[in-house]
């Protein structure tokens, strides 16, 4: 298949190339599109050297599948033009179409069938995708009434430049110098920033609201209540989330572990005695989302659970999920 | 007053000396006690050079007030011997006596009167003390029914060696070397560890249970439900906590801000438009606990709030609170 990646030089674009290779996606042609600045440069990829092309609607329409690893504004401007009849299938990693009723929002393990026959498919927010790997199987089992989510989000959520800024900031901090910040609202090294995306009138950030909106859409559960606090933390590329849920029907931690052990894309890492629980150290560069610290909630009793999830932000939070969507379509 | 500090060379011991000086505590004699290894060495302090003494019950009994900045095992063995009739008042920073009905557990702004007339007083866990600066005033106003707490705990919770290990680990990580760990269960630099203190049979760590047990004791509210996930994060000395509460009576975010603005020891930092919210960067070395991101909970409606707190672990979480207890007694 002719595959196009728009935003190929970014962190997600780069991971997408690698995931296509690792999963032996049937790529017959790989076209990498980026800004005029990068066009003409040749880059080494898992598929061999590829010369980067300047983006055009015409060139991308000639592909079979186009991955958009670009901003929401860019996606809004071009996604329909690329995917209209006679064009390519577009899988968009931005938030541009996630809340558009006409566009499916897909996590393959949960609602993959929604992608079938579609020419424009939205990939969820990284925090939502990672959360739902654990939440959706539990919802299917006992029904989730309320979820309280506190996130520990890595620098990669702000792209390759986010990771670079964190490393540079850590060096500055350790050298006793002031830490500079441009990708983040404040210095991130050795700090926490409870501010991701823009603030809404209700006091929540858009990042926090995305988790609610997208959870409801993907799980097809508009009745679920969810409150999120999204915090940027000084880790590189794996998001973690502390989750408390109230369920409609009782469930024991052992039963929850059994449900999650059967769930595709989930690895139950829950053996405290052996110091095994989800962590960025172990979840980074891993396809599966780690779930552990599963225990009965002390506030909701036997209709409640507390647990901790950790997943690679660039993989299940982005590139892996988009490639899995593409796999459904071929 | 004759003041003794046992564990004077540790991070909390060092902060206690500085806080006594900064708050102009009436120190007439300052005696620093530490292990045999440190005894005889002279250390520079805010009160001038002091020669460290080897600990003995007899020497500490001769003080007016003794701060114990040592392990729970040490406190259990010696606290009663130091504070028995004719001895000194002991303020213990360990967990040894926190759950002893005969020993008050005190955050001065909340239940300072419990310290009056006592000769042995326990200082709460750092996470609890920082949480309660916000939770207790809200509980007094509208009653807290349920609280869900996710923590972001700094390396200083493991003492000076914890901070040293984090800095060393960050250097190793940035140099592309394996990160070593001895104070923490796993490498902390650029990682998150959802494991603080030992695991209990119910799947919660002792650190997580402390927040429940101590909240109930300090607020004198055995009916409060609280579930905590305690996570060590790669920050130096300020703990943060994402908190969701369900209240007995309705409260608006504006009303909560007004309550907290009046609360002693609290600084409301809650102006998202100006990028002002609680962060380790701003809360470190500050006496007041920062509270912000105050908004109506999306899971509990008008009887619920979400908020974020951040406070210096070595100050309100330890040294400052113990000195404030001493201030009540003089």
Q: Decide if B135 contacts B244 (C-beta within 8 A).
A: no
Q: What is the CATH number of the domain that holds B165?
A: 3.30.360.10
Domain shared by A271 and A182, yes or no = yes
Domain shared by A238 and A270, yes or no = yes
Q: Decide if B130 contacts B309 (C-beta within 8 A).
A: yes
B154: Cβ–Cβ under 8 A, 6 or more apart, which residues?
A: B233, B235, B236, B237, B238, B239, B280, B313
pLDDT tens digits along A223-258: 999 999 999 999 999 999 999 999 999 999 999 999
Domain shared by A169 and A207, yes or no = yes
Question: In chain B, what residues touch A194 (CB-CB under 8 Å)?
Answer: 240, 242, 277-279, 292-293, 308
- Give chain A's mean pLDDT: 97
Q: Can you tell me the distance from the alpha carbon of B12 to that of B313, in angstroms, rounded to the nearest whole number? A: 9
* Phi and psi at residue B305, to the nearest 5°: -140, 145
CB contact under 8 A, B190 and A234: yes
Does the annotation flag A157 for ligand binding? Answer: yes
Question: In chain B, what residues touch A163 (CB-CB under 8 Å)?
Answer: none
A267: Cβ–Cβ under 8 A, 6 or more apart, which residues?
A: A286, A288, A289, A290, A291
Q: How many helices (H) and strands (E) does chain B have?
A: 10, 14
Q: Structurally, how many domains does chain A consist of?
A: 2
H helix intervals, A175-315: 206-219, 253-262, 280-283
Exposed e or buried b per residue across B12-33, where buried means at least 16 C-beta atoms within 10 angstroms of its C-beta: bbbbbbbbbeeeebebeebbbb
Domain shared by B96 and B223, yes or no = no
Scan for tokens 């009994």, then name that residue: B61
Domain shared by B187 and B277, yes or no = yes
**DSSP per-residue codes, B106-154:** --HHHHGGGGTT-SEEEPPPHHHHHHHHHHHHHHHHH-EEEEEEEEEB-
Domain shared by B221 and B151, yes or no = yes
Between B174, B194, B204, which is nearest A171 by CB? B174
pLDDT tens digits along A269-328: 999 999 999 999 999 999 999 999 999 999 999 999 999 999 999 999 999 999 999 999
Mutation target to probe the B interface, by most B beta carbons within 10 A, among A149, A150, A180 is A150
Question: In chain B, what residues touch A294 (CB-CB under 8 Å)?
Answer: 203
Name the residue among A320, A315, A310 with its Cα closest to residue A152: A310
State which residues form the domain around A193: 128-313
Domain shared by B51 and B186, yes or no = no
Domain shared by A144 and A225, yes or no = yes
Domain shared by B103 and B139, yes or no = no
The answer to whether A185 contacts chain B (CB < 8 Å) is yes
Does the annotation flag B324 for ligand binding? Answer: no
pLDDT tens digits along A37-54: 999 999 999 999 999 999
The CA-CA-CA angle for residues A184, B245, A197, to 5°, reads 20
Side-chain-side CA neighbours of B79 within 13 Å: the count stands at 26
Domain shared by B97 and B132, yes or no = no
Q: Can you tell me the distance from the alpha carbon of B268 to that of B309, in angstroms, rounded to the nearest whole number? A: 9
**Tens of each residue's pLDDT in chain B, 330 residues:** 999 999 999 999 999 999 999 999 999 999 999 988 999 999 999 999 999 999 999 999 999 999 999 999 999 999 999 999 999 999 999 999 999 999 999 999 999 999 999 999 999 999 999 999 999 999 999 999 999 999 999 999 999 999 999 999 999 999 999 999 999 999 999 999 999 999 999 999 999 999 999 999 999 999 999 999 999 999 999 999 999 999 999 999 999 999 999 999 999 999 999 999 999 999 999 999 999 999 999 999 999 999 999 999 999 999 999 999 999 999
Task: Specify the pLDDT at position B35.
Answer: 87
Scan for tokens 């729970």, then name that residue: B72
pLDDT tens digits along A147-174: 999 999 999 999 999 999 999 999 999 9
Q: Can you tell me the distance from the alpha carbon of A180 to that of A199, in angstroms, rounded to the nearest whole number? A: 23
Q: Which helix (H) or strand (E) holds B65?
A: strand B65-68
Question: In chain B, what residues touch A295 (CB-CB under 8 Å)?
Answer: 202-204
**Catalytic member of A126, A139, A228, A310:** A126
Task: Specify the pLDDT at position B211.
Answer: 98
B81: three-class secondary structure by DSSP: helix
Between B190, B199, B294, which is nearest A273 by CB? B199
Q: Within 10 A of A328 (CB to CB), how many other CB atoms are there? A: 15
Domain shared by B214 and B120, yes or no = no
Question: Sign of the CA dihedral B296, B300, B304, B307?
Answer: negative
Domain shared by B23 and B161, yes or no = no
Q: Long-range pairs for B261-270 at CB < 8 Å and ≥24 separation?
A: B262/B137, B263/B109, B263/B133, B263/B134, B263/B137, B264/B109, B265/B109, B265/B133, B265/B289, B265/B316, B266/B133, B266/B134, B266/B137, B266/B291, B267/B291, B268/B292, B268/B294, B270/B294
- Give how far B45 is from chain A: nearest CA, Å: 23
Q: What is the CATH number of the domain that holds B90?
A: 3.40.50.720
Task: Specify the pLDDT at position B59.
Answer: 97
| DSSP 3-state percent helix, strand, coil across chain B (nearest 5) | 35, 25, 35
Q: Decide if B139 contacts B251 (C-beta within 8 A).
A: no
Q: Can you tell me the distance from the alpha carbon of A95 to that of A123, in angstroms, rounded to the nearest whole number? A: 8
Name the residue among A157, A9, A3 with its Cα closest to residue A67: A3
């Amino acid at each position: 298949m002719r595959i196009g990646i728009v935003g190929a030089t970014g962190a997600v674009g780069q991971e997408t190339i690698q995931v296509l290779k690792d999963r032996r996606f049937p790529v017959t042609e790989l076209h990498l599109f980026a800004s005029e600045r990068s066009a003409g440069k040749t880059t080494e990829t898992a598929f061999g050297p590829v010369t980067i092309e300047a983006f055009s609607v015409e060139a991308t329409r000639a592909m079979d599948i186009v991955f958009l690893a670009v901003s929401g504004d860019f996606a809004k401007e071009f996604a329909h033009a690329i995917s209209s009849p006679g064009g390519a299938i577009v899988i968009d990693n931005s938030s541009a179409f996630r809340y558009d009723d006409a566009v499916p929002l897909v996590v393959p393990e949960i609602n993959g069938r929604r992608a079938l026959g579609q020419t424009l498919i939205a990939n969820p927010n990284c925090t939502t995708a990672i959360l739902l790997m654990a939440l959706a199987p539990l919802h299917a089992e006992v029904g989730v009434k309320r979820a309280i989510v506190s996130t520990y989000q890595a620098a990669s959520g702000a792209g390759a430049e986010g990771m670079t800024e964190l490393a540079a900031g850590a060096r500055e901090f350790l050298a006793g110098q002031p830490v500079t910040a441009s990708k983040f609202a404040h210095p991130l090294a050795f700090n926490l920033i409870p501010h991701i995306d823009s603030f809404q009138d209700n006091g929540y950030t858009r990042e926090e609201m995305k988790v609610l909106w997208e959870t409801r859409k993907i799980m097809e559960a508009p009745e679920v209540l969810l409150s999120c606090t999204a915090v940027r933390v000084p880790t590189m590329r794996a998001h973690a989330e502390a989750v408390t849920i109230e369920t409609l029907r009782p469930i024991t931690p052992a039963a929850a572990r059994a449900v999650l052990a059967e769930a595709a894309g989930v690895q139950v890492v829950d053996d405290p005695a052996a110091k095994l629980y989800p962590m960025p150290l172990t979840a980074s560069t891993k396809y599966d989302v780690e779930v552990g610290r599963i225990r009965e909630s002390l506030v909701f009793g036997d209709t409640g659970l507390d647990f901790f999830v950790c997943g690679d932000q660039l993989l299940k939070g982005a590139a892996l999920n988009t490639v899995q969507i593409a796999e459904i379509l071929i």
